[in-house]
Amino acid sequence: MRLHRVGGKGGGKGGADEDQTGCRRRHPLRRLDYPRRGRRGIRRWLPSWRQLLLLTGAGAVTLTALAAWLYATTEVPEDLNAFATQQNNVYYWADGTEMARIGETNRQEVPLDRVPEPVQWAVLSAENETFYSDPGISLSGIGRAVVSMATGGDTQGGSTITQQYVKNSYLNQRQAMSRKLREAVIAIKLDQRMSKRDILAGYLNTSWFGRGSYGIERAAAAYYGKDVSQLNPSEGAFLAALLKGAGQFDPAISEENRERAEDRWSWILDRMVKAGKLSAAERAGYTEFPEPRPQPKAAGLSGQVGYLVDMARAYVEGHSDITPAQFDLGGHQIFTTFEKPRVTALAAAVQEATKGIDPNAREADKLLKVGAASVAPDGRMVALYGGPDYLKQGYDNANASSVPMGSAFTPLVYAAGLGQGVQRQRGGGRSPVTPATVYNGDHGVNVMTPEGPYWGRDGKTAKTANDGGRSWGPVSLRSAIEQSVNGPMAQLAMDVGLDRVQQTATDLGLLPGSMGELVPAFGVGNSTPSAIRAADAYAAFGAKGSRTDPYSVLRITRNGEVLALRLPTAVQALSAAAAGEVDAALKGAVRGGSAQAAAEAGPDVAAKPGTTVDRTAGWFVGYNARVSTAVTVFRADLKDMKLLSLEGLGGAAPDTLDSELPARIWTSFMKAAG
């Protein structure tokens, strides 16, 4: 039997300690023989090779366990971050050229098939030549990045394209060890889940290229004014150089940038040759640096563009299944009906015609508003004038529904009479009317109902009112339209039935909400349609009664995919015979009637001026075989839209018709672009 020794050698030297039972236990470090016994000086603190091997193994096990834990607990996020999915909505003119780009992020996704293969390989050669064979990460690159972060150096290098895509799309741009480790794990998992082509496409569509451009499609436009599909390998190599830091490689910024850009561009082309993705002969053809164009000015909303964009967006939201929230995510391409030459010509016509307007010199010139719209017979809105500048006045005068149409409404009354006849006796039958039917054209005669004179709420009888108080005597309905004699039209509306006239007006496209009160003034234009709707209604007269609701968007796509859009179809608003008679009267007004000023616009034009009894609005509406155009002028404070008199506008004599200014605008525009 062996007895334990009590006390003894080494008890007080730290080699072993006694526990509560009196037994000795070794210190953990003493089990490792550290510090090393029997060694003196620095050698006492230098570990042996066995100790180093043990520590290395323990570290490897710890790191492996940590990596396994990190892999198990890190998931690929279900959704891309909002920044990665945000794009512009791009609006285009009718000819396909870009009108405006709306959104905080200048990005537009394109499928990888749209990116030429040499351009893809320019990027791969510059950023990650082993992309198609690596597991999503580069261990050596991660090591360099970790060391760099630990020493406070640059953290940008060392990432594969998959890792960069993860950073762009799932994580933030903050440089930290934890973010770098998450990036690596997500990259490995993403590489197992997604195809390499999808990852490359995502990377190219989310990367920053400078000049406000995210994604290679917008970069191609910003630097070369091209679609990405049109880039050659040399241009692709320059764009690939920008991925290292656009602020350091855009030649437009500085001469130092130019030198860096040319060196890296040349290096990338050489790398493409080395990788077998560009032949030596092709490389020899790219000796001149592909000079990018000067940075273009961003297409904005100034001038008329803002009004057009608002109109197009409203149409998309009202005629598709795209919600406003979905639309705001961007990525849509909106192809509008607006024709830039006509929009420009309309704005120029307004500017020229209003040169004599001086708000500083005349009270009558203050708060003047002009609205105009031009619509094709098939409903396409080809031009609008919403105001002097969208950024200064967002309210769209062309779409205003607060200005009475005045006597420009009377052709619609004429159409209703020709189409439906009249009923002059209560309970009696309806009688047809023709262009030759004669009415009393005198000023100030009583407006009649089947029971007698119409009594207003003020206790007075309603009376007709002609421009200038002129009496015309007996006048045919056609002559009343040609000469703009309002009295017969007020009475005709009563004879047809105000409700029937209202129905004809809505059939011709005037919105129910713009209809005026059904009183005698209804027949002479107390309704307040927009210039857009007025132009569209008149278009039916020249189209044999066929009418299409006005629309501003031809089609819409998102990242190249066509989205459903409900476009209007033509309807027969009037009989061809009735439309033909109205058309003849409106052409007669141009040849020898109240619209003679429009004759300069061509031999086939038809038109009608419009005035109101209280002189608060002036109109001119007309058309040719190609377009129908309406112009309205009014004075109003946009805070309350209270209409003011136009008398004395531009220093005109008191008896000047309020339709004179819109007639000048209409004629100038139709001569130039109608």
Q: Where in the chain is the domain with CATH 1.10.3810.10?
A: 105-284
Asked if the model's pLDDT at residue 106 lies above 80, the reply is: no
Asked if the model's pLDDT at residue 77 lies above 80, the reply is: no
- The rounded Cα 27 to chain-centroid distance in angstroms is 74
DSSP secondary structure, 222-233, as one string: HHHSS-GGG--H
Topology annotation, domain 406-595: Beta-lactamase (3.40.710)
Cis peptide before 609 (omega within 30 of 0): no
Asked if the model's pLDDT at residue 79 lies above 60, the reply is: no
**397-413 confidence digits (pLDDT tens):** 999 999 999 999 999 99
Asked if the model's pLDDT at residue 437 lies above 90, the reply is: yes
- Least confident stretch, 248-252, 268-272, 510-514, 583-587: 248-252
**Per-residue confidence (pLDDT) for residue 105, from 0 to 100:** 72
- Least confident stretch, 155-169, 389-403, 567-581: 155-169
Give the separation between CA 432 and CA 581, rounded to whole angstroms: 14
Give the separation between CA 123 and CA 281, rounded to whole angstroms: 20
**Per-residue confidence (pLDDT) for residue 667, from 0 to 100:** 97
| Over residues 249-255, mean pLDDT | 88
Q: Which residues pair with 203 in a beta bridge?
A: none
| Over residues 440-455, mean pLDDT | 94
Tell me which amino acid residue 635 is: R
**4-15 confidence digits (pLDDT tens):** 444 444 444 444
In the numeric block, which tokens belong to residue 281?
Answer: 């002969």
Better-scored residue on pLDDT, 273 or 85: 273
- Least confident stretch, 156-165, 216-225, 647-656: 156-165
Asked if the model's pLDDT at residue 18 lies above 60, the reply is: no
C-alpha angle 123/125/128, rounded to 5°? 85
Q: What is the CATH number of domain 105-284?
A: 1.10.3810.10
CA distances for 95 relative to 98, 251, 382, angstroms: 9, 32, 11
**Per-residue confidence (pLDDT) for residue 178, from 0 to 100:** 52
- pTM to 2 decimal places: 0.76
* CB distance 304 to 347 below 8 Å: yes
**58-74 confidence digits (pLDDT tens):** 666 665 555 555 445 44
166 falls in which pLDDT band (50, 70, 90)? confident
Asked if the model's pLDDT at residue 552 lies above 80, the reply is: yes
**168-193 confidence digits (pLDDT tens):** 776 544 444 455 566 676 767 777 77
DSSP secondary structure, 208-275, as one string: EEETTEESHHHHHHHHHSS-GGG--HHHHHHHHHHTT-HHHH-TTT-HHHHHHHHHHHHHHHHHHHHT
* CB distance 447 to 490 below 8 Å: yes
**Per-residue confidence (pLDDT) for residue 82, from 0 to 100:** 55
**Per-residue confidence (pLDDT) for residue 566, from 0 to 100:** 96
- What percent of the chain clears pLDDT 90, i.e. is strictly above it? 64
**Per-residue confidence (pLDDT) for residue 659, from 0 to 100:** 92
Q: Which residues pair with 213 in a beta bridge?
A: 106, 210
**581-630 confidence digits (pLDDT tens):** 999 999 999 999 999 999 999 989 999 999 999 999 999 999 999 999 99
DSSP single-letter state for residue 92: E
**225-237 confidence digits (pLDDT tens):** 999 999 999 999 9
Helix, strand, or coil here: 394?
coil
| Over residues 546-559, mean pLDDT | 96
- Least confident stretch, 142-146, 418-422, 614-618: 142-146
Q: Where in the chain is the domain with CATH 3.40.710.10?
A: 406-595
3 falls in which pLDDT band (50, 70, 90)? very low
The radius of gyration of the chain's CA atoms, rounded to the nearest angstrom, is: 40
